[in-house]
Amino acid sequence: MSKLKVSKFLASSMVLVCLAVICSGKIHRHHATNITPNQMHKVTLDPTEKVKLTWMVDWPEKNVFFQIKNGINEKYSWFALGFSRRGEFPLTDFCIFQRENDRIDTNIDAWASKDGREIIIDHQQDCISIARTSKDEIAFRRKFDTCDEDDFPFHEGTMYIYWMRGEELLELGDDRFPTPDLPESDFGMVHLQLLRADSISIPEKNVANVDIVVKDVVIPTYDTTYWCKIQKLSGSMKRRHIVEFEPLIRSQEGFVHHMEIFHCETDASVDIPLYEGNCDDLPDEARVCSRVMALWAMGATRFTYPKEAGLPFGGPDYNPYIRLEVHYNNPDLASGVVDNSGMRIKFVDKLRKYDAAVMELGLEYTDKMAIPPGQLAFPLSGYCIAECTKIALPQEGITVFGSQLHTHLRGVRVMTRHFRDGKELVELNRDDFYLQHFQEIRHLRRKPKVLPGDALVTTCFYDTRGYQNVTLGGFSFRDEMCVNYVHYYPATELELCKSSVSEKTLADYFEFMKKKDHQNIDIRKGRAACYQGIEWSLPHVNELFTMYTNEPLSMQCNRSDGHRFDGFEWEGAPVTEVPIQPPQPYTSCSRGGKTLQNSDDCDMFGMCIY
């Protein structure tokens, strides 16, 4: 048998599971010989951090292999791992394991009833047990898509993983049993990307780091605060590559919504005043501190660059000043909360092959864009038009290796679509089950090449059911955003490729709504008041959608200094024509009729994302 190339650093139990899987013929041997530690993904399930879930994605065979440690032990007789659509318990798809006679010899594929009161055993059993190495271990596999209408297909977006456990044995004699009544310590949910790219290790041995943090900030008693710190990097300013960055969250959970580090793009000899305070009062000299170096948002962990690329900093022409920006979210106006958060940057002296960079795609942060109330999934699209990439990208194009999707409270689905010569290519990133509290930077398994003349369209869908007023674009947490931060190489001058509706189009729209539809609009009061003066009936919602989809743009094709590229008239730019209906997610099965995945709640394109 071929020798299994598994790192000695892997936990021995997982190695034995992998060996058992391979010996059972569930993974082809030529795939098995290439198993590495980076294919093993781990998360803690319970608050005591004792129940560990480890999984491995077998992309060629479209299987996921799971191992659960301490789910069943001397205290607990059964354990269930569930796959929920958006975190709700009803209709959650479960794999249930039970210990009897000192062995875990019961394995059931089941699902929660629509009212959540019963667990119904599935007619098709798809949770396949594999070898175990200890009494407290559960190991099984499941296909991405089982072609079972009662199973939830695995996808590459955010997965909502439900878990529960119990001390008393379950009564499994019938085809269903009552949902167990459990204490809060014995059930829960985690968010993760199940079908994810392999993790990345730093190959260099000599890695240094620097911490960029705020100091003893008393978070203001405002709903939204952007806090800035200007810091000078110390030590030798030789040219280096950043290879990883990670958050340092040092306050109560939930107050820090996102953070960014910017470089001050100016001559190396220019001094920037040191500053720490509200970003609104930033010194004028610090306005040049706008080139993105690192970023983090709620739910994310560390981000590691691929071995061929690193983010450059330092050198004889490099200004040593940087700006840390922290977005505090304080909806309850809590007082006396002290924060010392920031980010840790890891770097190496030996330069890698490519300089990497970050580019913003999507919508401008502006109240020119609005979302009507009472909508299930209203779409807004931000365009990076072909004319911009044609001017700004090198002839050989760029390779995108990472992506972070970003909205505020109402975002429920985000995607960036890729077009070349009028034809749609594979999406850059897509999350049909987006959660604004889980905004990790994701490595892309397929690293798409974006060429000059390509168009990128980032669309965000918003759920405003229950809201009485229109939601506007803007910086506040109660406003909305639609952004995709893409990490790519080689670095270019293109920092921002975003859009909004053109000023003329919006003025004409408000004039039309005032005169033809007799809406309560006074243009002198500003955009927000105009939008708020509209009665959002279905025809008016459709008119707004049509205007955003078809009318000219105000295009931001910007360098890192904030100035637009020359060579095109960006105000009034034509909108990129794209099919309104995005392609369906990949499935190998033919599904007919109403399934577990489809409910009565579908968006305006017929996509059932709830």
Strand partners, 586: none
| Catalytic residue from among 406, 418, 443, 487 | 406
Strand partners, 99: 104
Contacts of 149 (CB under 8 A, 6+ apart): 591, 593, 595, 596
On the CB side of 162, how many CA atoms lie within 13 Å of its CA? 20
Based on the residue annotation, tell me whether 383 is a catalytic residue of this protein.
no
Backbone angles phi, psi at 334, to 5 degrees: -65, 145
| Catalytic residue from among 191, 226, 467, 540 | 226
For residues 71 and 138, is the Cβ–Cβ distance under 8 A?
yes
DSSP codes of every residue in 586-603: P-SS---SS-TT--S---
For residues 420 and 352, is the Cβ–Cβ distance under 8 A?
no
Q: Which two tokens stand for residue 565?
A: 């590229």
Strands 309-313 and 159-166: what pairing?
Answer: unpaired
Rg (CA), the chain: 26
For residues 558 and 564, is the Cβ–Cβ distance under 8 A?
yes
Q: Which two tokens stand for residue 267?
A: 């001559």
Give dist(CA 369, CA 474) in Å, integer: 9
508: helix, strand or coil: helix
Give dist(CA 393, CA 423) in Å, integer: 19
149: helix, strand or coil: coil
Give dist(CA 182, CA 180) in Å, integer: 6
Based on the residue annotation, tell me whether 437 is a catalytic residue of this protein.
no
Contacts of 153 (CB under 8 A, 6+ apart): 144, 145, 146, 587, 589, 597
Q: Please report, for residues 240, 389, 417, the alpha-carbon distance to residue 553 in angstroms, rounded to integers and kept in the order given.
A: 39, 16, 18
**What's the chain's length in residues?**
610
Active site residues: 226, 406
